[in-house]
A and B are shown apart, each in its own frame.
Chain A
């Protein structure tokens, strides 16, 4: 199989890079360790490949977790189910949950399509990359995802812009910028389309929107192939992969784009560096952050509410009293109907809210490679945004008189970033303004590990913009 570019990973970075490259005429091979997913849009597109069911109904527990990594388990992790949707990386200082499958995080994300909090997010890191350069890529990503900003009065269930108009504690005034959402509002269908995947396809996912169309233009997808090793090849770069049957393959292309998601990209790069295949890369592992992710469960138990309805995210809100730190959103347990639970418990879950806060943490952690395994160093105390959000949650819990559960002693994120970050030199980071690894021509990073700082908002569009920017640079090189 001859390719111009190999891309490891099919999430926002990999898919948008592949989209741009195949449209420019390149032959691209995409490696994805997870399976294609069984969803209605892929059914409609007539995709004739083996697909794994999403975790729902009788599959809800068996298909929930694919792999678990933990310090007390073997270095390669423990595979629970090859169809599993989530990978869990338990760590003492930072726990990470991410998804697996063709389309990456788009299956499980909250569909919030946003730009970073800081309007000058891209400025000042490297020459040649700034808002002027990156803004068109955000526009393109929002267009591709069909993103729309919900408006009050549109009939979207539980939209904070409507629901909080009379709330005594929270507000979402018209001047609060709401996130655009990659959601088919016109379907009018608001059930079972969130964290457990969007089987009906009301949430727009990358597999149907970008990957399947690209397969007719020169994209080959190797699903259920796990990348194990990268290194220099006779002509460009080599990737060693293993399929589910345990067979090994060795692919080669002039260019290799790492877009496996922060942890998997770092695992591959740190491991390959330790085997002497990537040189020194002194900046590899620096700049790890969790995007200030701060989840909490608010058992508000509003009697007349069914918060499981609505798109994956209900929108942003602020506190009526005091300053609101970061970027707070509310979400219902969309998909709770699919869980095999007693009706009384489902009812209680539908009347509570999942609150998710984010913010610009310092991205000051570090990824290290010890005895063949990835370890994340992350000091919660060195990132005051986490404490600020926790304090706001405590105030809300006290003011409401209802339990609000958070886990400040157990830092966890679904948005790990950094470790192969954008930098002017190899000492402080890994990639240059074109996303190419310093000193290693032909090797690129196009996922959240390349981000220079925390966006403080859901990072999907920032990753998509970066993926397009990297691909465009390759297209211009020819």
Chain B
């Protein structure tokens, strides 16, 4: 007898409950993702936002759940195409804003291999060009990413996100 398996996203409650420092540890142990393997549209969820770690876990996770509602958060995910990509707003295939290049590299945070999303591209506003994204494989079809903010003093973790391969 064989079972039919439908990969689902990582248990949302377990990820949404975690602090940035805990997700840092998770991110460090995950395998990297090949830049060639990410193609198409990926619905996303945001969580572990800088500064919200002081909130009780249930409050923070409740807030992140609310952030999953389109009416409260227009960011819907990311899309990838041949070494480049963009954030999608107001829909999974919606407005593309906030572009980046995609390559395999080494994380500036932990020195381990990761998929690098570099926002330092001419199409972006100057403010966005300081963003450095990183992503690793959480499970089949699910990627855990984090958004870093580059300053002269170094990188700051701003938030984490998951991306799930769209149908």
Contacts and interface: CB of A to CB of B under 8 A. Distances in A.
A427 interface: yes
A321 interface: no
A407 interface: no
B113 interface: yes
Contacts, number: 82
B14 A240 contact: yes
Contacts of A274: 5-8
B30 A248 contact: no
Interface stretch (B17-25, B70-78, B92-100, B125-133): B17-25
B139 interface: yes
A151 interface: no
Nearest to B142: A276
Interface in B98-118: 112-113
B22 A285 contact: no
Interface size range on B against A:
20 to 34
Contact of B113 (A233, A234, A282, A372): A234
A249 B140 contact: no
B132 to A, nearest CB: 19
Nearest to B27: A250
Interface in B1-41: 1-3, 5-11, 14, 17-19, 22, 25-26, 28-32
A302 interface: no
Interface stretch (A100-108, A224-232, A328-336, A390-398): A224-232
A228 B17 CA distance: 13
B138 interface: yes
B150 interface: no
Contact of B29 (A250, A281, A285, A366): A250
Given A246-B57, A285-B3, A286-B1, A233 B29 contact: yes
B68 interface: no
B8 A282 contact: no
Contacts of B29: 233-235, 238, 250-252
27 contacts: A229-B11, A231-B138, A234-B30, A234-B32, A234-B112, A235-B29, A238-B26, A238-B29, A238-B30, A246-B57, A247-B22, A248-B14, A248-B25, A249-B25, A252-B29, A273-B5, A274-B7, A275-B9, A276-B139, A276-B141, A276-B142, A279-B5, A282-B1, A282-B3, A284-B3, A286-B1, A366-B1
Interface of B: 1-3, 5-11, 14, 17-19, 22, 25-26, 28-32, 57, 112-113, 136-142
